[in-house]
Chain A
Amino acid sequence: MEPADASYAGKAVSQMRRGVLEYCVLALLRNRRRYGVELVRELGAADALPTSEGTIYPLLSRLRRERLVDTSWQESSTGPPRRYYELTPAGRSSLEEFAEQWRRFRSAVDGFLSTEEER
């Protein structure tokens, strides 16, 4: 859900969430494949969804077009078959590259923020 506060900082954080969302999706697929509703549920539980649940599907569609994820069907004992998403080798290396850059970015920002706090 969109954060209620539309403050200046709130907007920046909202944009950042949007930017990293696809890597959160790729990270959720790192160890096993998942279906759409499952991905939405995990992201929602971690408060990682910047907007409504439905907006994840255009994102998944793009990841598939960019060959970062692959899909396959699997029957389920409860209800309809599920469309499962899984990482491709390209998706895996993209995720690893992002994880590395994110670590550096995060420590740099943390460095600035803690310096400012100490003043």
Chain B
Amino acid sequence: MMTVPDNPIVGDYLRRLEEAARDLPADRRAELVRDVREHIAVATAEAPPASDAETLQMLDRLGEPEEIVGSARAEGGLAVSGPAPSLPRNVAHPALDGLTVALLLVGGFIVGIGWLAGVVLLWSSPTWRLRHRIAGTFVVPGGLLLPAFMGLFSNGSCTQTARPVRSGAGPGAGAGAQHCSTVGPAIGLGVGLVLAAASISCAIYLARRAYLAHR
């Protein structure tokens, strides 16, 4: 650290500067105090003050500590007066927001509870705006569970009509596939695919938001 003249007037000035700068971010405060110390050290080395009056003059030209700190706040894009605003009660956490997106997508497979947990997280993290919360909750409730269920259901009805009695895999599987091209199961499969696409799009939309919020 740069040595400043061992003068109580200078010491008092620097103490007042540190006091005025106490609500600046720590790195800014340290940098500001360091720069002003350096200024005093260099200025007094170049033109050693002959008296306390001259020291006071030098400090007077330097400016009131409050004024210098005010300038630091303005330059740093920080609040011009008063302490920094306190953090919101719910603090956004990148990992938790990632988990939220994952739970909304595939949490439904965890006996349905996983998706509900995702919804709770979605509505409590400050990362999300109302539009994200509504999209995540209502676009495809249950996430991929619903489209997966529809896909299984259409396959299930298909095998039932094709092979009502025989069990196990065998040559009959081919016949079952042919029967699947009836209208009902095809619609089920189509709707399932659309819902799956919507669910994945929604997850990408939320993931993008989380990424931008935490970048």
Q: Binding site of A, secondary structure by majority: helix, strand, loop or mixed?
A: helix
Count residues of chain B with CB under 8 A from any CB of chain A: 26
Interface: B12 (CB within 8 A): no
Assess whether B38 is in contact with A83, with CB atoms less than 8 Å apart. yes
Give the residues in chain B near A44, CB-CB below 8 Å: 61
Assess whether A52 is in contact with B42, with CB atoms less than 8 Å apart. no
Q: How large is the interface on A (under 10, 10 to 19, 20 to 34, 35 or more residues)?
A: 20 to 34
Nearest residue (CB) in B for A52 is B63
Give the residues in chain A near B68, CB-CB below 8 Å: 52, 54-55, 57-58
The residues of B with any CB-CB pair to A shorter than 8 Å are 2-3, 28, 31-32, 35-36, 38-39, 41-46, 61-64, 67-68, 71-72, 74-76
**Can you report 27 residue pairs joining A to B where beta carbons are below 8 Å apart?**
A36-B35, A36-B38, A37-B39, A37-B43, A40-B39, A44-B61, A51-B71, A52-B62, A52-B63, A53-B62, A55-B63, A57-B39, A57-B68, A57-B72, A58-B71, A58-B72, A58-B75, A58-B76, A59-B71, A60-B35, A61-B72, A79-B44, A79-B45, A80-B3, A80-B41, A83-B35, A83-B38
